[in-house]
Every structure is written in structure tokens, then in C-alpha cells.
Structure 1
């Protein structure tokens, strides 16, 4: 690959690598101006990739000295619109592939994102964006004219005035298309002056800014030291690790310990995110608490990094990075206090609030969302990988054996799971009939097999189009497979945990009944609810039991009535049992039950019982409806579970169709393009 292909791949790689440097500060700055959301962050990431695109298309591919011809360097083209004279306008349909016309269009398209991003992110006026586009293009052309500012003895690319015109035109076209970026979901705008509850994402932004500030400060110190040493004629290469370690530790101590200790409120990242660290009684932390917070948070990571560099201790850095990941996950999944907050006895509050000495309450993070599952799986995967790397560094043979064992276990687990899904799909079709909803497991297995076959064919035949399709399929399968694994594992852990004590009501979600007979699937829900009620009564509390379910077209009695009859027959207290008979969906179950409890003058803190495959989606729905509910799951027949959990997964994805469609589209298009480039 070379030319356009190499520049494209390099731009994507460098753009993603520089995301922290190019986007995190802007995300923090925009938060201070009231703009937040994943959609906004995604646009910032795209901006980082685009910035690298401009850079790589300016100088890549770099020629070697032997390839450079300074006897006849490119002559600058200074005649406006001269490029148009080289277009064969009489070519008819072939005009669309005319090399010069394609080049002109490409130069226009290259600057369209610049205009879109500047208008959308900064709100600049059209004239300003046009001038910035012109200036950026002029910088590029000057770079080409001077041989990358005289790094090369002569120019190796043509500087063309028509490029200035095309690029500037592209930036202005981007202004017209900028409203499209506003349609991307996840770009909330709020009053930046108003104090709001501290959320996990906000804490994470502060943590990322702190991490980035230490990285930038330490790197700058190292560069300055080496530049000064070089000017003085000293060779510091033998002491590189020691100098880097000292700069890293020093930067971390100053920025993450001294600054908050002297300032008395928080680190740079916390201040950018409107956060302030206080004691639970809202008073200023003590010096010892700041030190504990430093060592158990990002400061501990940087100290470990410095020690590993200075003394070449094997295995320390993977474990330190794993600790950093665990710390971030604790904030995202458990509580905004984080591990360092619990260790030091400190909490984080909004710096805009006028907090008087009192008890500051920090609510636990709500786990009822798919993103929690994804983060948990990603973090667990990283921690396991880091552990294997550390083990390999400390004991290479043991580490290799552990890696091999992990791979074998993963492969065997995948094969066993695939076999179980296939067997369950066949049994389900035999027992309950072949319907699309029952065939999801079989369809998933067939899709994976087809993808593997196409992968083999693409490698053997070398067909570019098949490589593109296969790469797109692998990208989509990887994305959906990772989400499904997260949904499955996290959902099952969530469904099987014991609920917090003290609920006002235990609610059983209905499902199909046959006459007044409750089938095993529904019986298991009721039995699980009765277990929760029994545990509460054993502790001296007496929650009400609610059966929720209306009457379907093929049912002779409301589901709640049949459920109540079964519950009483197995020992439920009829005097503490209510029925809600109007609901037809999970949403209606939750909303109508809450309304029923309010009408009865009862509290609305709920524990909801359903099957394990449905528990996590029910919890997600409850969160979206702002229903105070924990959800517990009951066991499901093994042959029924695979298709049922796949249906639930599809239903969860359908609650955010634009988000997943956008991510899938980007992944598929990118993978297909890379597959085509690599397969040519």
C-alpha cells in the first residue's frame, strides 16, 4: 500500500492514538460551557482522526533520499483554475473517473469536515471558517513547497494554488453541512452555572484530564532536559529511564498531591469538571487524607510507573495499569467516590454548590444500563490480560502456560456454548414449533459458520470484494458479540444477586397463562418472589406482594388472577396480595403497578421478579421509566434460555437504534474499506 491508502490508514491510527491529547481537554472545556454527552465526545474523536488526516495527506508517503529528485523538483502551479483545463470535459460518462477531476473533488471533500467541525463545535462565523480553511490550506501548500520546511533539500510534492481554492471551498461547503452534526444523538446542553449531581462520566473526565496533565507535564520536562543537555554537550541516553521516572513521579506529586493540598479543593481535572473533594461533613480534607487519596488513585499508578522505570521491576506496569482501570470502573459501576475516596474517607461534590458542613451523601451508581455491562466486561478483560502479561514477565514459563490455558478455555467455552445453542434451538423448535422468535439461536450459529467459511475463502482466493464483505461481517459480529457477551454475563450476575432489604412491594411480572393454569416459566417467577417476601418477613418487615399482568387475546382470565391463585395455593398471604390486571407489556407492568400502590397509599420502592433472561432488560426499562425497582431473576429451562436471551438482547439494542446503527455503520464501512485495501 502507498499513497492514498497509506495516508488513510496512518490517519486513522494516529488520530485514535492521539485522542487523549486532542479531545479530552476539549471535552472538559465544553463541559464547563454546558455541552456534554457521548455523541459530543464521538464528534471530538472524529475531529482528532480528521486532524491527523490533514497532516498525513500533507506529507505522507515520505520519500527516501534515493527516491528524491532535486534536479527536477515539482514546479509550483500559481495560475488559478489551471487544473480545470486538464479535465477532459468531453469524456461523457468517463468524466466521473477523470484523474484531474477526481483530484479536485477530493481536495474539496478533504476540507468539508473542517468547516463542519468548526461551525458545530465552536460556532464560528462563515467568514472566519473560510479564512481558517484558507490559512490551513496555505500552511499545507507551503509545507509542500518548502520540502516540509527544509527538512528535505527540495520539494517532493506540487504546491498548487488551485488546491487553496478547492480546500477553502470545501470548508465553506462544510459550513452548509454542519447542521447534520447537530442531529447526532447524545449532545446535551445545560446551564453550566447550575450545580448538578456528580455523575460517573463527569468524574471520569476529571480523572482523564488529571492523567493527561501528568503525562504532558512529565513528557515536556523530559524533552526540555534532553534538549538542554544536548546544547551543553552532555549525553543523557544512559540515564533515560531514571530521568523519565523522576519527571513522572515529580509531575504526579505536584499536580495530584501538592496542587489539591495547597488549593484545598481538588486537582486540575476536578476543577475543570466543576468538582471539589471534601470530607463527608463537607469540610476540607486533612493532609493525610490527600496522601492516601493520591497513593490509592492515579498517583499510585504514576509512582509505580516511576519505580518500574527506575529499577526495571518486571510485571509492575501491567498491574499498575490494571489498577488504574479498576479504579475507573469503580467510579463508573459502583460509586462516584471511587476506591481512593473510600480509602481516604473523602467524597466528591459539585464545586458550584454552596455546601455547608453537613453529612454529604453519595448515591451508588445505578447499574441498570447496558453501558455498565459493556464497561464491566471490557475492564475485566483488560485486567485478566494485564495479569497474564505481569505473570509472563515475572515467570515466563508459567505465564506462557497461563496464556495457553486461557486460550484453550476460551476456545472450548465457545465451542460448548455454540453446541448448546444449536441443541437448544433444535429442542425449542420441536417442543414449541418453528417460529422466527424461536430460531434466533439457530440463526446466530448459522451466521457465525457462514462468516468463518467466507473468511477461509477470502484468504484462499484473494478476492478483494469478498475480503471487504468478510471484514465488514467480522466487525459487525465482533461488536454485537461483545455487546451480547456483556449483556449475558452482567445480566445474569445482576439477576442472581440478592436485593437490598426494605422494599415496599415485591412485584411479579406476568406472562402467558393457559386457562387458570400457570406454566413452569411463570411459576418460577412467583416462587422467586415468595422467597424474597419470606426473607423480608423473617427480618421483621412485611412488603406487599403484587401480581401484574393483563389478559391476552388467547387467555381466558387475566394473568394476574391466575398468578394470585397459584401464589395463595403455595402459601402466599392473600391479605397482603394485590393484583394489577391491565398491563400488557413490561413498561405497563411497572407503571400500572406503581400507580396501584400509590392509590393504596403504599410506598413504591419495588423488587421485581421475572425470569433470569428478562431481568436485566426489565431493570433497564425501570431505570428509563424512573421506577425505583430492583429486579431479581428466576431460573429458566436450559433449552429455552438461548433464544429467549437473544430476543431480550435484540430488544435492548432496539431501545437505542440510532446509536447502535451509527456505530455499526462506522465499523462496517471502515472494516470493509480496510479489508478491500488489504485484500487487493
Structure 2
């Protein structure tokens, strides 16, 4: 069973890493295009990525060393169609009119290996019909091509990385994998109502800026703050020939001012980098560009509680100052939570103080 479990575990791990790396770019793209995060569509895309990578790993892993393959006798491919039927009848002990042989036959390797190859591509047929709107013929052809890619990878020794094949290329796998895709095509019709429907996701191009959208914008600005900070450290600290925490703190504060104050002040639409990328804008209560003082106070407030009060703690040696900053952050979070619960929606209470509100740019 570990022959199957280990490739599945590795495939899921690699898939999740790819999904993790793609999550922020996908969020940005969908917020810019649709104004919202498309939950159902992303579930489908993520599950498809997990399936495709895991299925490929199951046909490829475990990978031996190149030296081990050199010392291994070349693997001979099977070019005889439907050899698996003959193998099953000869090795499983199956006798169609003797029920007692059925269970033992279905538990034999000659059966479950074939069954595995059917199940391997069955989800592919479901995805092709349900989410890619392919007909039966196209589904069968694409299933055959996917299986051909698997077999070619094995036949060429992972595209000539290895001196020769170390897995058993089999024409029967082409037949069985294609059959699995076709079965998946018909299974999609039966499972249609149980599967998520991306068509139910709707664009939400309103002025409302969701919490997640704001946080992604803030994350991007934080990244730019740290980039500017590191550049300043290289220039200033190398020139000074020494390193001091007090200098680090000053440089970090300068970086925050550059990203959250200077850049919006000189930009045409008064935005930070994060706001530009997420298509967010600051507006006053009347929907106009806010006063410069309001924009500065709004951005300073945001920059302080996350970028300064959180990141700067590691640069400070005084325990009392660290405790004070931590209490500031906790107090801010508590105020946000309490006011939001009272209003039954996320309430950014500081925006009213400065008459500066973050809106989605339509």
C-alpha cells in the first residue's frame, strides 16, 4: 500500500506548496477583474491542481538513483493490447460460474492494478465534462493523450534523465486510462449536483473594500517597506561601517514614511503601491479625493499599528517599550472587534475620525 500512499502524500504536499505560492497572485487578479474572491472557482482550480500533480506522481514515484538504473536490466514494454485480461484470468483464479473465486480474484494484483489505472484518470473525465465543457469524444482523446504522456515519461526514462526506462510502459495502460476518463465523463452527469458550480460565483464590483482585500494591500505595502528598509541599511550601514539598533529603527521608520506617506503624496491618485495593485482608493465622506492631511493621518495610523508596532518590536531592547507597543496592538484589535460586533459588520472606526475612507476603485 505504501507504493500508492507515498506518491499521494508527496503529490498533495507539492500541490499545496504551489497553491500557497499562487494564492496571493490569484487573489490580486480576481479582485482586479471581478471585485471579489471567487470561492467556488478557486476550490475547483485548487482541487484540479492537486489531482493532476498527485496523479502524475503516482505514475512516476518512487524515483531510483541514476546509478541504480544503470545497473538495472532494461525494462521491456508491453505492446500487446488487452494482455491484462489474459493475465487476470491466468493469475487470479477467477471462474465466472463459481462465486467463491470472485472475491479472491478481485483482491489479486492482476485486478486491483487495472482498477487503480481506471480510477487514476476517472477524475480527469469528471473535470473535462463538468468544468471544461468537453464532449465525450474530446474527453476520450484528452484522456488518451494524458495516458500517453504518462507512458512516454516512463518509456523515455523521465525524458532521458535516466539511461533507460525503469517503470513498465504498457499499451494496456493507454486503454485502461482512456476507459477511466470515459467513465469519469459519465460519472460527472451523476455527480453534477454534488460538485461545486463556479457559475454561481458572481462579480461584486462595488465600492466596498473587504477586509481580505485591505489586508492583501497592506501586505504588499509591508513588503515594499522591508525592501526600502534593506536598501537603506545597505547604503547607510555600510557607509557608516557599523550596525546599531537605533539606526535600524530610524531607517525602518523612514521606510514606512516613504511607502505610506511620500509615495501617495507624489502619486497622481494618492495611492500606495498596495492600493494601486488591489485597485483601492481613498475617498472622503462625499466620495472625493480626501484632504492631504486626512490621507496622511489615515496612512500613518494604518502604518503604525501593523508595520511599526509589530515589526519594530524586534529592533527594541527595552522591555517596557515592547510591552507598551504590544498593548497598543492588542487595544487596536480589541476596539476593532468590539465596534464591529456592535455594528454587526466590520467597522473601520478610524476612517470616520480622518474623514478618509478606503474604497474599491470601480
1:91 counterpart (79, 94, 97): 94
Query: Whole-Å Cα distance in 1 between the matches of residues 134 and 214 of structure 2?
Result: 27
TM normalised by structure 1 equals 0.34
Taking a change above 3 Å as real, the CA distance of residues 129 and 260 of structure 1, as seen in their structure-2 partners, is farther
Q: 1:183 aligns with which of 190, 194, 202?
A: 194
Query: Are residue 280 (structure 1) and residue 284 (structure 2) matched?
Result: yes
Distance of aligned partners of 1:65 and 1:27 in 2 relative to their CA distance in 1, 3 Å threshold: same
Report SS of the residue matched to 1:198. coil
1:656 equivalent in structure 2: none
Partner of 1:551: none
- Work out whether residues 207 and 270 of structure 1, in 8 Å CA contact, stay in contact via their aligned partners in 2: no
Question: What is the TM-score when the length of structure 2 is the normalising length?
Answer: 0.58
CA RMSD across the alignment:
5.1
- Structure 2 matches for 1:346-495, cutoff 5 A? 346-352=356-362
Query: Residues of 1 paired with 2:217 and 2:83: CA distance?
Result: 48
Q: Answer yes or no: is the 8 Å Cα contact 2:120–2:177 preserved in 1.
A: yes
1:507 corresponds to: none
Deviation of the 1:85 alpha carbon: 2.7
1:104, distance to aligned residue in structure 2 (A): 2.0
Which residue number in structure 2 is paired with residue 454 of structure 1? none
Aligned mates of 2:358, 2:182 — CA distance in 1: 44
Structure-to-structure mapping, 1:610-621, within 5 angstroms? none
**Deviations for 1:341-361, whole angstroms, at most 9, x for unmatched residues?**
799975343434xxxxxxxxx
Matched, 1:135 2:145: yes
Report the Cα offset of residue 6 of structure 1.
0.9
Is the alpha carbon distance of 1:152 and 1:276 closer, same or farther for their aligned partners in structure 2, counting shifts above 3 Å?
same
Unaligned runs of 5+ in 1: 219-249, 353-680
The alignment of Structure 1 onto Structure 2 pairs a total of residues equal to: 294
- C-alpha distance in structure 2 between counterparts of 1:263 and 1:48, whole Å: 40
Alignment of 1:140-539 (within 5 A): 140-179=150-189, 180=191, 182-184=193-195, 189=200, 191-192=202-203, 195-196=205-206, 198=208, 200=210, 203-204=211-212, 207=215, 264=269, 276-281=280-285, 282-284=287-289, 288=296, 292=300, 295=303, 300=307, 334=340, 346-352=356-362
- Preserved CA contact (<8 Å) 2:70 2:163: no
- Describe the shift of the 1:266–1:52 C-alpha distance in structure 2 as closer, same or farther (beyond 3 A): farther
Q: Distance in 1 between matches of 2:30 and 2:193?
A: 15
Is 1:4–2:4 an aligned residue pair?
Answer: yes
Do the aligned residues in 2 keep the contact of 1:277 with 1:346 (CA within 8 Å)?
no
CA distance in structure 2 between the partners assigned to 1:214 and 1:114 by the alignment: 40
Shift in CA distance, 212/292, structure 1 to aligned 2, threshold 3 Å: closer
1:437-492 deviation digits (Å, cap 9, x = unpaired): xxxxxxxxxxxxxxxxxxxxxxxxxxxxxxxxxxxxxxxxxxxxxxxxxxxxxxxx
Separation in 1 of the partners of 2:39 and 2:361?
23
Q: 1:68 aligns to what?
A: 69
Contact 2:298 2:350 in 1 (8 A): no
Higher relative contact order (CA 8 A, sep 6+): 2
- Alpha-carbon distance in 2 for matches of 1:132, 1:266: 47
For 1:343 and 1:158, the matched residues in 2 are separated by 71
